[in-house]
Amino acid sequence: MQTQSVQWDFTGHRVLVTGGSRGIAAELSYKLAMRGAEVAVNFSAAADSRFGRAEAASSLIERIEADGGRAISVEQDLLLPEGGSSLAEKAQAIAGPIDTLVLSASIQYHVPFLLQTAKDVADQIRINLQANIELLQTLMPPMALSGYGRILAIGSIQEVSPSPEMPVYAMTKAAMKNLVENLAVQSASRGILINNIAPGLIQTDRNAFRRSDPADWDRMQSKANPVGRAGQPDDLTALALHLLSPENTFTTGATIYSTGGGHIPVGTGGYAELVLPQSTEETAKRLEVSPQV
């Protein structure tokens, strides 16, 4: 197993990661396995194929095992009725009791509100909300009985800054944020901590279509946040690992925005830069330590 430079020991813990074969969740699945977790990677063959990544799950499992980790793939389409319950039962039957859960699977349609069909709406509610509820209702009782559980929802900047392109998606993410807060209050005394990370623009295969024109992508990145770039999946993993780890014994009900500052409201002038009182050279010279006489 590769040597890691940080803490977060997940040895003895079983983790289920929904939508775990691609994007942020795939990187997190790998990092969890490298820290001793037994990881059940949920995937949808249909969804992976739509993104041209039919081998995503098997490739991830091979990568984890090659580097000394332990992981299995669990195929389950969360669009199916009771898909969340079915996934929870499958994962437990294969891997054993699940004490750590990452809710990452989601679907979004870039369609104006008045043009979204009943199926568009139902699909987004089904995967982004209903499947998560089913997973929580199935997996939280054994966590509570054991006195230990860690749960992380992967939310979105759209919880607080909804895009007109994805109104129903934004609604489902806001609903999950509310559910996380509600359940955190109820489950803390049982040893279950549940949190939410809300990413901004992150470079994944989901937004690959936006990168077909590099110049447009560069403009989009520069305007997305004060940092001036899209995040990478790895930008979120350290934060996620801490919230999911046994070392986190106090943080619950939190939503943490990993957006490069993009969630912060700004005026019409856009993102301003810090103004220094003097030039860099003058400031550096003033801070120099004078030699002893």
Residue 189: its pLDDT value, please? Answer: 98
9 located within any domain: no
Buried-state track 271-293, b at ≥16 Cβ within 10 A, e below 16: beeeeeeeeeeeeeeeeeeeeee
Which CATH number do you get for residue 64? 3.40.50.720
Longest dimension (CA), the chain: 81
76 located within any domain: yes
Which domain, by its residues, includes 193? 14-287
Asked whether 40 and 94 are in contact (CB, 8 A), the reply is yes
Residue 122: its pLDDT value, please? Answer: 98
- Nearest CA-CA partner of 38 in 4, 84, 74, 3: 74
Domain count, the chain: 1
167 located within any domain: yes
In a 13 Å sphere around the CA of 190, the CA atoms on its Cβ side amount to: 18
4 located within any domain: no
54 located within any domain: yes
Q: How far is CA 33 from CA 12, 16, 38, 168, in A?
A: 11, 11, 6, 33
293 located within any domain: no
| Predicted confidence pLDDT, tens digits, the chain (293 residues) | 555 455 799 999 999 999 999 989 999 999 999 999 999 999 999 888 887 888 999 999 999 999 999 999 999 999 999 999 999 999 999 999 999 999 999 999 999 999 999 999 999 999 999 999 999 999 999 999 999 999 999 999 998 888 888 999 999 999 999 999 999 999 999 999 999 999 987 776 666 667 677 777 778 776 777 777 877 888 889 999 999 999 999 999 999 998 777 787 776 667 777 777 766 566 666 666 555 54
CA separation for the pair 171, 55 (Å, rounded): 31
| Phi, psi values for residue 256, rounded to 5° | -115, 125
281 located within any domain: yes
Residue 94: its pLDDT value, please? Answer: 94
192 located within any domain: yes
